[in-house]
Chain A
């Protein structure tokens, strides 16, 4: 637990050591909120769905911030020269690996809530108070699920060496194929299949159903499926992380830039 908490705390703090509060707000809030507005306005200008469809979908995509930053942790450790010490430590790998995701998950979930607030205040999204408990739980599940993908990308970043690109590809793939902007039924089969395989897809669907006044119990299976998908990505990420660590130790390539 101590390793988990320390990993969570330092994994977060170290990533933002270079930021001032203004830059933090611009990078972490202005960018996702303006991205949400951009795609929602494209939808409003001529999309096949009502504005609410795009607002809810794009607000949920803000959850991908967690995956983006988690994926960046390994690259940041390597760039700062601390990866070898981390790997050399006797700390439990599971606690170390999942601890790094903890604060990002909580932070991103808060940003999704801010995204919904932005949609209500600026675009007039109608979300009755009774829908909020279900939506909040959906946000938590969606953020956790997409964090699993972030953990996998973080492990891939060991080999690929550029988590920034991996994280961006993840976000744009979610914007295209998760149903955030285009109903899966309007996508070609390959993209629709990709959407089904991504985390967040089912959380977005659940959020839309809840925002439309649907019963929470009806959305529960979707949320459980999304949680399972996210967990699957996280486990694959952890296995990959462990395997790459062994190979990198053997070959002495931990700090390859």
Chain B
């Protein structure tokens, strides 16, 4: 266990150094949520029941998801492009633990999205940004990070097994923002969209975070969202383990681990 933890942390440290040097990832974590928060506040601030916390949380979630999407989909393929994938696989450390550390570091970067949107709401626009249920909000944020981490763990082997998936995932940014109701209620969407929303962990993350920050959800409903996040994360991690095994088996059999 100590060994795995050490590998996880070392991998996270290296990834954190790398990802914070990437302008594109910094854009996704810092600038994109900044722009979305500012634009949405200017669009919505004149409505009678305007809740700045809702925009701050929603725009922050957009940054969290964007970082997960892009870092997750290139977590393994980037190692391949850099010629490290064969070395990583040959090392005694399990590839999934190494990727887990990388995604952990990506989540640390993603978390800065929330800080940026908080600064936009509280600093730039001078709104009082205080969650109605701080403890529930904190737990919801941790649950959201865990579920997004698990999503990233599925994206990593997927984009290696089917390379077009990496580009395809890049196009799913806004559809997920829409389906998960980051900045408007999903009730605005046609009813047949709802099953898709319910199947996406970010929808439950948004529900728990917005419900606990606005105080619009009962504690029982927030706990339900947490349980669904835990369950879907578990399913995603099992899927990730299976995909990593398939990927490594195929790569060894075909000798294509280092192919770009």
Contact indicator A30/B43 (Cβ below 8 Å): no
Q: Of B30-38, B95-103, B142-150, B206-214, which binds chain A?
A: B30-38
- Would A45 and B168 be within 8 Å (CB), given that A169-B27, A176-B42, A181-B39 are in contact? no
Chain B interface residue count, CB cutoff 8 Å, equals: 33
Partner of A164, one of B24, B36, B50, B188: B24
- What is the count of residue pairs linking A and B with beta-carbon distances less than 8 angstroms? 101
Q: How far is the CB of A162 from chain B (nearest CB, A)?
A: 5
What sequence of 0s and 1s flags, for each residue 140-165 of chain A, a beta carbon within 8 Å of any chain B beta carbon?
Answer: 00000000000000000000001011
What sequence of 0s and 1s flags, for each residue 28-59 of chain A, a beta carbon within 8 Å of any chain B beta carbon?
Answer: 00110011011101111111100000000000
Contact indicator B171/A41 (Cβ below 8 Å): no
Contact indicator B23/A48 (Cβ below 8 Å): no
A172 at the B interface (CB under 8 A) = yes
Contact indicator A37/B178 (Cβ below 8 Å): yes
Chain B residue nearest in CB terms to A162 = B23
On chain B, the residues within 8 Å of A35 by CB distance are 174
A187 at the B interface (CB under 8 A) = yes
B40 at the A interface (CB under 8 A) = yes
Q: How far is the CB of A117 from chain B (nearest CB, A)?
A: 18
- Range, interface on chain A: 35 or more
Contact indicator A38/B178 (Cβ below 8 Å): yes
Contact indicator A45/B185 (Cβ below 8 Å): yes
Inter-chain CA distance A172–B177, complex, in Å, is 16
Partner of A48, one of B47, B177, B183: B47
Interface residues of B (CB under 8 A from A): 23-24, 27, 31-32, 35-36, 38-40, 42-44, 46-47, 49-50, 164, 167-168, 170-175, 177-178, 183-185, 188-189
Interface residues of A (CB under 8 A from B): 18-20, 22-23, 26-27, 30-31, 34-35, 37-39, 41-48, 162, 164-165, 168-169, 172-173, 175-176, 181-182, 186-187
The 9 closest A-B pairs by CB, nearest first: A45-B184, A34-B174, A26-B171, A172-B35, A46-B47, A23-B167, A30-B171, A182-B42, A162-B23
